[in-house]
Structure 1
Amino acid sequence: MTNQNTTVSPLVLGAMSFGTLVDEETSFALLDRFVERGGIWIDTADCYSFWASETGHGGASEEVLGRWLAARPSARAQVRISTKVGAEPLWPGSWPERRTGLSPRAVRAAVDGSLERLGIDSIDMLWLHQEDRAVAIEDTVDALAELTADATVSRVGASNHPAWRIERARAHARSIGSVPIDAFQLNSTYLRTRPGTLPPGVAHPFGVLSDEQRDFARANGIEIWAYTPLLSGAYDNPEKPVPEVYDHPGSARRLAVLDEIAAARSLGRGQIVLAWQLAHGIRPILGGSKLAQLDVAMDAASISLSVEEIERLDEPV
């Protein structure tokens, strides 16, 4: 398999359901198409998808990726692999009360397991999947420092963490001369939830991109990756209603603007959402299960919104 596309896509392919809800043949087809269209980053986690697996444990997604990489000898040089540690259940049914967490020993063991399942010798981006208040963040950073020092890990990021803990982590990394966290992975889309609510599937109090996290990221050059940017298809699929937590007057206004701009351009609302995120420097993670969905989403990378369109979409609610 070779990538004939000379344009690098800023979009990320989310492999969360590979090996569980998405069968291996379809997973391979999605991976092949993603790379053919210039895709680089593939995102997974050691715990994907424990809630949909027969064993109650994760690992299926990484295993599918590992078999795809083995079957495509040239692929490893073309893609970057992003995986996460810390959220795997200690035993079936134990999440979220009992999970592997972010102790130095747990981080090292999780990375070793991911490397084996993926069949690779280094990870391009390692995420702390969700915060672990039972462990000092400095101890976790010390473990990450060992991994980056021996080139097992190239970059480190944090998902579902408050900004203040990331600042502590970055300060400690700088003090020991290590690689600091330089990426956030958070839930983010065009609509905003009502205050005090979380979107479906987000179990972390700091899992939704906030104005503070966005400001912190901008001030410190931290990359933002957005999970569930398309509300699992609700922007364009009438059979998938927009989740109730987004039901407020501000959403009605935002959806009206989104409708107008999408109609004027003869595009889907989801494509405008992705283009809007890209215009703000946010890297969306795509999680579809069909080639047609992937193609439509990847087309959004070539959409250039005008200043006026962005200003209309950005108007406060």
Structure 2
Amino acid sequence: MEVVHSQNVKTISLTDDASDRLRAEKLEEESFSDVVRRSTEGVSLEQYYGAPSDETADELETIIDCLSQAVAASPLVLTLATEPPSMEYTTLGNTGTTVSKLCFGTWRFGKESDGTVETNREEAHDLLDACWEHGINFIDTANVYGDPNGKSERWIGEWLEDRGHHREDVVLASKVYFPYDGRGEPGPNDSGLGRKHIRAQIEGTLERLGTDYLDLYYIHRWDDDTPIRETMRTLTELVREGKVHYLGASSMAAWKLTKALWTSDVEGLERFDVTQPMFNAANTDDVGDYLDVCADQDIAVCPYSPLAGGFLTGKYERAEDGAVVAPDGARGSLTDLFEDRYTSETAWEVLEAVESVADEVDATPAQVSLRWLMDQDRFTCVPIVGARTPDQLEENVGAVSLELSDDQFERIDAARGADESGYR
């Protein structure tokens, strides 16, 4: 018997002959939610359970007994997860939506770098499968991810359809602002946060994802050329039409976020419930005021680049002359922006503290860095991880079961130079 844990799913696979005999044993077909795959190897049946109750446990025992009797003389592959995965879930800020404590980012899906696709369609679906198996239900994308734009959204939609996953089991977030080239060279109204562009882009996003609503719709940047009143009115219309559940804002100055919230309050419009700044233990620039607003207004924070572009994984080293020594192909060897953004003197001190804590708790620096973000207590913090492989994703998920003591958390804070108000 092989046991595989996936997102609240129990899967039984058996040969056609065994399947026929199983029916003869009168195991009611209604007890399964869906027949999801048929192939020459057999039939897979999926049963979705919540947290196992006594009744559920009894039902599982009955199914196993029935299978044992029905197919005792035949080859049988039984894949059964009797416990939910070790993912933790949290309410997303001031919304009523529950999400996994890690969000999966898909900005690499279909992205071309120097003529090479960073994550192709098959790899993308493998990563989404891994998310499902680990209990990650929160997927982040944008209309401009992929080359051409829209490819990331389309691949996610195709994955949902191909795997037969129920739309209600996934929380989908996308974004609007940047020029969109998915239908050719962008025109004068193919960017920004005006009504015309937002209206056009939400329809395209929904079509590519194969859904009639988004759980979360971010403005990808602030638009200095469009009055925020027009932007918030248009986004509010989408919420009231049922095309979007909640609104989010990505990177911007703290005063702009405050202005948007004030406009919503004064005009009686929907407000931003989630933000997506660049926030990690190593980077302390220009984020404090923004996070103060989030904490004061009970806004969830879903930071991108939670591992500082890989810096906080510990794979980079510091040469005697201060230069960054990077593994072949790692981001530090590909762009000068990496050193400017992530490798300040403070960042190296933070990395040293993170590695010290990692040794103490028998974890990786990446896991400690992600847990440090999840443990922020001033606001809900759900890091967006962009793993390249299922193995990397599995390492990231290991942060969920990690525990940091107050002393360990505060040592990382101290290395950042945080004062008493800090970011925790």
RMSD of aligned residue pairs (Cα, Å): 2.3
Equivalences for residues 1-317 of structure 1 within 5 A: 3-4=8-9, 5=84, 7=87, 8=89, 9-20=100-111, 21-49=118-146, 53=147, 57-89=148-180, 100-192=191-283, 210-234=287-311, 235-238=313-316, 239=327, 240=330, 243-245=338-340, 246-280=342-376, 281-315=380-414, 316-317=416-417
The structure-2 alpha-carbon separation of the partners of 1:124 and 1:296, relative to structure 1 and needing over 3 Å to count, comes to: same
Over the matched positions of the two proteins, sequence identity in percent amounts to 28
| Conserved 8 A contact 2:283-2:308 | no
When structure 1 is superposed on structure 2, of 74-83 and 138-147 the one drifting more is 74-83
CA deviation vs aligned residue, 1:220-267 (integer Å, no higher than 9, x gap): 001111111113333233414763223333223222211211112221
Stretches of structure 2 that go unaligned for 5 or more consecutive residues are 1-5, 10-83, 90-99, 112-117, 317-326, 333-337, 418-424
CA distance, structure 1, for counterparts of residue 184 and residue 209 of structure 2 = 22
Q: Which of the pair has the greater relative contact order for Cα pairs under 8 Å at 6+ separation? A: 1
| Conserved 8 A contact 1:137-1:165 | no
Provide runs of 4+ in structure 1 moved above 6 Å. Answer: 91-95
Deviation of 1:133 (Å): 0.3
CA distance, structure 2, for counterparts of residue 99 and residue 274 of structure 1 = 36
Q: Rg: which structure is higher?
A: 2
| Conserved 8 A contact 1:226-1:285 | yes
| Conserved 8 A contact 1:3-1:35 | no
The structure-2 alpha-carbon separation of the partners of 1:251 and 1:165, relative to structure 1 and needing over 3 Å to count, comes to: closer
CA distance, structure 2, for counterparts of residue 248 and residue 64 of structure 1 = 37
Using structure 1 for the length normalisation, give the TM-score: 0.86
Instruction: Give the equivalent residue in structure 1 for 2:17.
Output: none
| Conserved 8 A contact 2:275-2:300 | yes
Using structure 2 for the length normalisation, give the TM-score: 0.65
Deviation of 1:309 (Å): 0.6
Equivalent AA in structure 2 for residue 39 of structure 1:
I
CA distance, structure 2, for counterparts of residue 231 and residue 169 of structure 1 = 28
Stretches of structure 1 that go unaligned for 5 or more consecutive residues are 196-208
